Chain A
Amino acid sequence: MGATRPRRAHDGPHLPRTLVPAGRPVVVQVWAPWCNSCRTMEPMLERLAGDYAGQVDLRRVQADAGTSHVRHTGAVGERDLRYLFDQAVAAGRAEGAPRESVDPGAVVRPAAGLRAKRVDRSLRVAAGAALVAAGLLTGPAPVLVGIGVVVGGSAWWPRGTGSR
């Protein structure tokens, strides 16, 4: 079997909807039977997919399949995750690593964190709105309105440099 090199993955338009469920970041691994680094990454990706199940989806696309999906991979569909992937690739390049050796954790963990940030922000806005509404409906109660404004406004406060 003549193993052909896959078409060069490049940043393309959004992935087809069949590959990208709405509202959830996706990590796409392009793999091929002859790709040793793909096999090396596989257990790590599986573990990360399990750890972040429900927050990030893992999709695998075979490079030799010749499907149109391959043209669009290299980056991933969700804009944020694409940005993270490119950043991870750039970081890897800066260290002299080839593009294909991007640490999947460097993409999956921030992707899961992105969704968590959105949930966190939504929660704060909803709680703030509920408190303001309760304050206006039961009084008015300025204490409640004030607390609601603070809570809702905290959704846009810059976070600290949460170090790990």
Chain B
Amino acid sequence: MSFVNEAGWDRIARVVLGVAMLAVGFGIMGGTAGTVVGIIGFVPLVTGLVGYCPLYSVFHLRTNRADDSSARTA
């Protein structure tokens, strides 16, 4: 089973977006709206760090080329 289905650029973009959303939500906005933004920001952050996107899996998509499951076994 191939675990990682995101390419490097995809992961970096997700992490940057997630960090930005967390920073804006919890750091700048505050309040309920800020908390909501921050919580939503967890999604791209976690999927970027892990390298696996469940939505990609549902639609049989991937942005990386090779079977990157070796990232889990090395």
Contacts and interface: CB of A to CB of B under 8 A. Distances in A.
B27 A141 contact: yes
B55 interface: no
Contact of A144 (B4, B26, B73): B26
Interface stretch (A12-20, A31-39, A95-103, A129-137): A129-137
Given A110-B73, A131-B19, A141-B27, A116 B49 contact: no
B48 A123 contact: yes
Interface string B9-51: 0011001001100110011100000000010000001001101
A11 interface: no
Interface of A: 51-53, 55, 109-114, 116-117, 119-120, 123-124, 126-127, 130-131, 134-135, 137-139, 141, 143-144, 147, 151, 154, 159-160, 162-164
- Ranked nearest first, the 10 interchain pairs of A and B with the lowest CB-CB distance are A113-B74, A138-B27, A162-B72, A113-B70, A116-B71, A134-B23, A51-B66, A141-B27, A109-B70, A130-B19
